[in-house]
């Protein structure tokens, strides 16, 4: 075979999106994306979190499947670059997870707040030594103060990392350690080497505090969608990737997600951003997971609904949730329909399928 030369812009991997907004799209992850992830994570560890590289290589526990951008690009690849050992969890089991952390002296963890709440709410957690953990990362939802307190108690030597990213743009914004505690609903600042801004429909940056679409750019942004020029043109514009997430920036420069564009609820002319409501509800110590969505209404157009999974062994009522929200949200944002369920419908990538929740509740309302 003739000799060939590679380039950092060559496609390395095709990762598929979760498909929550339609048919999954194949994202072209190039070598530059992997190289940046590997270098950036090491920089965060050594320069930002100031964690000395372990002698002989450390260990990371990967609980998510490797078709997940976080597992592949932000755990496996950086750990290979640093000479660390990656341990793949074959199935999510509380006992297996805790046993591996203790036995292998795992130093780097990543999980959703829901996973951490299940782990740390278990009676088994006190039986294991988790002191080896130096970094506990999370994303997908804010970390409530009570859960953060459990995290600090369980992982006594750990620093915390909240990352926001997508298949098309791995960790683009991040909140580091104390920031996770001081601003628990924020996704932080642009991550190392990346840029982010809030834009309107014409790609113009909006003033701080104004809601618009989160746009990111940098070496973490993929090369577009495979064999889908139309979708690529819509999402990758002027060197920026439009995330499809609505957000805002506060006076200190911290970014917040308020909703997926497609999920915004129009209640009688008032915009309700589901993520804003979810961020409040998930702060309740008895809430394990929550999904907020709109259901059709003949008078208001849409009304706000919430499906809630409670922490195992606890009980919660709709009235308690409404009361909890009453001093944190405007009245029109408080869910009028509250459904308690044992689990939320999710796709293989772990994203909640809100269309199913809307359909199920609409049918129940229609029958009622």
Q: Model confidence over 230-287: pLDDT tens digits?
A: 999 999 998 899 999 999 999 999 999 988 888 899 999 999 999 889 989 988 999 9
Query: Mean pLDDT across the chain, nearest whole number?
Result: 90
Handedness of CA 194, 210, 143, 356 (dihedral sign): negative
All domains in the chain, ordered by first residue: 11-258 (3.40.50.12780), 264-367 (3.30.300.30)
In the Cβ-directed half-sphere of 329, how many Cα atoms lie within 13 Å?
Answer: 25
Q: Which residue has the higher pLDDT, 112 or 318?
A: 318
- What would the pLDDT profile of 327-355 be if each residue is shown by its tens digit? 999 999 999 999 999 999 987 767 788 99
Report the DSSP pairing between strands 265-267 and 240-249: unpaired
Nearest partner of 359 among 349, 367, 350, 351, judged by Cα = 367
Sign of CA dihedral 21, 25, 29, 34: positive
Query: 3-class SS at 360?
Result: helix
Q: How far apart are CA 49 and CA 92, in angstroms?
A: 28
Q: Answer whether residue 368 shows pLDDT above 60.
A: no
Three-state secondary structure call for residue 151: helix
Question: How much is the pTM?
Answer: 0.85
Residues 49, 41, 73, 282, Cα dihedral to 10°:
20
């Amino acid at each position: 075979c003739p000799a060939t030369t590679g380039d950092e812009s060559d496609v390395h991997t095709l990762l598929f999106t979760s498909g929550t907004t339609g048919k999954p799209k194949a994202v072209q992850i190039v070598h530059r994306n992997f190289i940046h992830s590997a270098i950036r994570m090491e920089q965060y560890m050594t320069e930002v979190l100031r964690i000395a590289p372990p002698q002989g290589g450390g260990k990371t526990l990967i609980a998510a499947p490797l078709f997940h951008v976080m597992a592949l690009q932000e755990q496996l690849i950086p750990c290979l670059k640093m000479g660390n050992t990656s341990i793949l969890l074959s199935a999510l089991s509380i006992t297996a997870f805790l046993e591996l952390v203790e036995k292998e002296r795992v130093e780097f963890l990543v999980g959703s707040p829901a996973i951490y709440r299940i782990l740390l709410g278990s009676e088994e957690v006190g039986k294991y030594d988790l002191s080896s953990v130096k970094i506990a990362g999370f994303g997908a939802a804010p970390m409530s103060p009570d859960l953060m307190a459990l995290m600090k108690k369980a992982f006594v030597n750990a620093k915390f990392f909240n990352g926001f990213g997508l298949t098309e743009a791995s960790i683009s914004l991040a909140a580091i350690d104390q920031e996770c505690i001081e601003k628990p609903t924020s996704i932080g600042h642009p991550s190392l080497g990346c840029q982010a801004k809030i834009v309107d429909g014409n790609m113009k940056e909006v003033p701080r505090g104004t809601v618009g679409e989160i746009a990111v750019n940098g070496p973490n942004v993929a090369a577009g969608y495979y064999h889908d020029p139309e979708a690529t043109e819509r999402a990758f514009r002027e060197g920026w990737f439009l995330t499809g997430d609505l957000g805002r920036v506060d006076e200190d420069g911290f970014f917040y997600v308020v909703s997926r564009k497609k999920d915004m609820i129009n209640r009688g002319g008032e915009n309700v951003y589901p993520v804003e409501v979810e961020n409040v509800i998930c702060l309740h110590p008895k809430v394990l997971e929550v999904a907020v969505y709109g259901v059709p209404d003949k008078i208001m157009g849409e009304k706000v609904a919430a499906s809630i999974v409670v922490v195992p062994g606890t009980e919660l009522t709709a009235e308690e949730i409404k009361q909890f929200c009453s001093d944190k949200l405007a009245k029109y944002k408080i869910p009028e329909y509250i459904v308690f369920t044992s689990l939320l419908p999710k796709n293989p990538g772990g994203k909640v399928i809100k269309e199913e929740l809307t359909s199920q509740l609409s049918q129940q309302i229609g029958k009622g």
